[in-house]
Amino acid sequence: MSNKAIEDLAQIKTMMERSTKFLSLSGWSGIWVGLCGLIASGILYIWQTNSLYSYQDLTLNDPYQTTYNAFNLLSLALITFIVAVTGGFYFTIVKTQKQGKQFINSLTKRLLIRFSLPLVVGGILCLLWYKYNLLSFALPTTLIFYGLALYTVQEDTVKEVKIIALLQLLLGLVSFYFIDYTLLCWAIGFGLIHLLYGIILWNKYDKQN
């Protein structure tokens, strides 16, 4: 009778978790997003060291230079975002399907809506920085708003997300202060942290399967 009680309680706990948290986040998603982040940082670094495409020049009031670089920067940002998000979703959707679950349900819809809001606000803010010729604030802004987006969904998914959120926020603030080291912070935040957490998540949740 008591053994049945223990099993019952375990089942209650599982059901409560399953109906409130999305736990099928794949480690491969983190690894993929991390690699995208590192490659994008590498490209930015090459542009930065090449005087023609100097990232610092973006703050100068040279219209030709600004539009040209901003176009490159925006394309890179968009391509990185699309490639990273597509791959990130792909690995997680595959994992959900392997577990015989549907990816889209009311839980994941709520999670995605919560997650998107800070990202959209941050994206608009980046465009506003461009309007005021303050594009060097764009990278720290993406770190901060991405951190906020992760923080918003911490209750809805694996607990590691909260730690990543706090690290991104910290890096965002640091890179606002040390504006010369923005790219380094960004490479750590979007590249290294994702890569490491992807490996940690994979090790913890995916390895045995």
Partner 1 sequence: MKFDLDKLNKVFDNRIRVGIMSGLMVNESLSFNDLKEYLSLTDGNLASHLKNLEESQYITVTKGFIGRKTNTTYSATEEGKMAFKQHLTYLENLIKELK
Contact 145, 173 (CB under 8 A): no
Under the binding rule (CB under 8 A), the answer on residue 52 touching partner 1 is no
Q: Which two tokens stand for residue 165?
A: 């959120």
**Least distance in Å: CB of 202 to partner 1?**
25
Pick one of 9, 78, 82, 117: the residue that binds partner 1 (CB under 8 A). Answer: 9
Among residue numbers 67 through 126, which ones bind partner 1 (CB under 8 A)?
A: 100-102, 105-107
State which residue, 96 or 182, has the beta carbon closest to partner 1: 96
And the tokens for 84?
């990273």
Query: Residue 104: left if φ>0, alpha if ψ -120 to 50, beta else—which one?
Result: beta
Structural contact between residues 92 and 26, judged by C-beta atoms closer than 8 angstroms: yes
Q: Which range of residues in 7-15, 35-43, 57-65, 161-169 is near partner 1 by CB under 8 A?
A: 7-15
**CB under 8 A: which stretch of 12-20, 127-135, 165-173, 175-183 binds partner 1?**
12-20
Q: Which own/partner contact pairs does 165-173 have at CB distance under 8 Å and 24+ positions apart?
A: 167/193, 168/143, 168/144, 168/193, 169/143, 169/144, 171/143, 171/147, 172/140, 172/141, 172/143, 172/144, 172/147, 173/140, 173/144
Window of 15-23, 35-43, 161-169, 178-186 that interacts with partner 1 by CB under 8 A: 15-23
Q: Is 203 in the site for partner 1 (CB under 8 A)?
A: no
Question: Which DSSP letter does residue 50 get?
Answer: S
Binding residues with partner 1: total (CB under 8 A)? 20
Smallest distance, partner 1 to C-beta of residue 201, A: 22
User: Does the footprint of partner 1 cover residue 20 (CB under 8 A)?
Assistant: yes
Query: 94 is written with which tokens?
Result: 């595959």
Residues lying near partner 1 in the complex (CB under 8 A) are found at 1-2, 5-6, 8-9, 11-13, 15-16, 18-20, 100-102, 105-107
